[in-house]
A and B are shown apart, each in its own frame.
Chain A
């Protein structure tokens, strides 16, 4: 057959247009891919600090302190110790509510319940709430360090970093 069709587009011409189109398309895709990758590394990253001061041990009243819930911790003070409980339900990650009348944490998603200590006693959750590292800084303030977690089922709640003993 002849190289030229009725409309006047030659096979070679068609192929080169096709090549051009594909090249342009690939370039566009590559550019948007790069833009997407760039998007993953924002210039400013707003991340709340992982470790912060919450106040002096004697400033806390006995029981659960909810002031730091936005930072993801409940500060619990008992007669013996102070510890920081994670506000993330160990079932699927909702935020439980502290019900002071019942003295328990109760999750609104599937009904898991935890004692003040963070140990689970009802609902579907398989394990207790996690605790964060706490220690007293030089200025006498309690520091919560969310980088280190202590899990009850691994026997980590006896770790000296997992609580502040009150004398």
Chain B
């Protein structure tokens, strides 16, 4: 019974919605779970893992040699996010009580040599031993020599690219493979120039950088880590979605007849056929995309984030707003696919221009 519910909750639009709600809840209630409740979270996730290990399919999945480190990594990510937020929350409390920051209060500074270097040396030795023992006891997941005429089913990218591979399902290759990763890389590189606010440099804080930290954590945990989980544990043969306790059945039939926005409007809604010329066919999609960005920029600059706009100046602000809007649009498009089987908003395959 529990398994059926969890399998159902693992439907993409369900679990992504849950994750997004949980994300904002945890950020809001950080006071609670950066304290004792943090231990409860850890306990809960360990119990979940232990319970799930009784399921044959799930056990097979998490104990696969390639997936073991991913499970460890998820716990590590959870821990470090928790730790950073805990430090930040403590500092926020200290500031509220008028005490100096944690980092300033540390009177006893230590030297790099020998303190830090020794610690590093010991870590290095321990890590080496762990890796050697590990590689002896868990055999490397080697497969047959590569063969162009048969792709393994499912064919998965390396774990750190599973988010990008997931994007390829929803977007045209040039968007998913070039544009979006480009935005990620260039956006991260540009961030120090867009965001010149010196607050939070060299000390933990949340209150002083609410917006920046929330947006970054959202992008990282939902758009990157969650999609890695998704790609590792929920994507099965034929790249179909499978619940965590659902055996991977090659013949699982999922109706994925994707429909373009133009077909939704002209065929299903207006009942006239598709117009011949691509411009008239796609006019609604073009209007939607242009309108989204225009209204989005206007709304962020004039209403929602007006304070930032005045602070940062128009150039910085609109760069930031653009990256933010792209991130939101990416998720929105994924939802449209999950709920309405929408293929492309603009689909001009004549020019390989599909959004």
Contacts and interface: CB of A to CB of B under 8 A. Distances in A.
Interface of A: 69-72, 87, 91-92, 94-97, 99, 101-102, 106-111, 113, 121-124, 126-127, 153
B256 A122 contact: yes
Contacts of B339: none
A126 B151 contact: no
Interface of B is mostly: loop
Contacts of B273: none
Interface of A is mostly: loop
A95 B150 contact: yes
Nearest to B168: A110
Contacts of B154: 108-109
Contacts of A122: 255-258
B256 A113 contact: yes
A142 to B, nearest CB: 19
B151 A124 contact: no
Interface string B146-168: 00111111110000000001001
B352 A69 contact: no
A70 B169 contact: no
B149 A108 contact: no
A127 B237 CA distance: 22
B172 interface: yes
B173 A91 contact: yes
23 contacts: A70-B149, A71-B149, A72-B148, A94-B151, A95-B149, A96-B151, A97-B151, A99-B250, A101-B251, A102-B251, A106-B238, A107-B151, A107-B239, A108-B153, A109-B154, A110-B165, A110-B239, A122-B255, A122-B256, A123-B169, A124-B172, A124-B173, A126-B172
Interface of B: 148-155, 165, 168-173, 177, 237-240, 250-251, 253, 255-258, 349, 352, 354
B168 A92 contact: yes
B326 to A, nearest CB: 19
Contacts of A108: 151-155, 237-239
Contacts of A99: 238, 250-251
A91 B165 CA distance: 12
A95 B148 contact: yes
Contact of B171 (A101, A124, A127, A153): A124
A121 B257 CA distance: 6
A124 B151 CA distance: 17
Contact of B253 (A102, A126, A127): A102
Contacts of B256: 111, 113, 122-123
Nearest to B258: A122
A124 B251 contact: no
Nearest to A124: B169
Contacts of B172: 124, 126
Given A102-B253, A122-B257, A126-B354, A110 B349 contact: no
Nearest to A88: B148
B73 to A, nearest CB: 23
A106 B153 CA distance: 10
B251 to A, nearest CB: 6
Max chain B Cβ within 10 angstroms of own Cβ: one of A70, A109, A126: A109
Nearest to B165: A110
Contacts of B150: 69, 95
Nearest to B171: A124
Contacts of B239: 107-111, 123
A125 to B, nearest CB: 9
A12 B172 CA distance: 63
A126 B149 contact: no
Contacts of B153: 97, 108
Max chain B Cβ within 10 angstroms of own Cβ: one of A91, A95, A96, A127: A95
A111 B238 CA distance: 5
A71 B238 CA distance: 22
A111 B154 CA distance: 9
A111 B149 contact: no
A85 B165 CA distance: 25
A69 B149 contact: yes
A124 B152 contact: no
B176 to A, nearest CB: 8
Contacts of A102: 251, 253
Contact of B258 (A92, A94, A97, A123): A123
A32 to B, nearest CB: 28
A95 B165 contact: no
Nearest to A113: B256
Max chain B Cβ within 10 angstroms of own Cβ: one of A71, A110, A121: A110
A107 to B, nearest CB: 7
A113 B239 CA distance: 11
Nearest to B166: A110
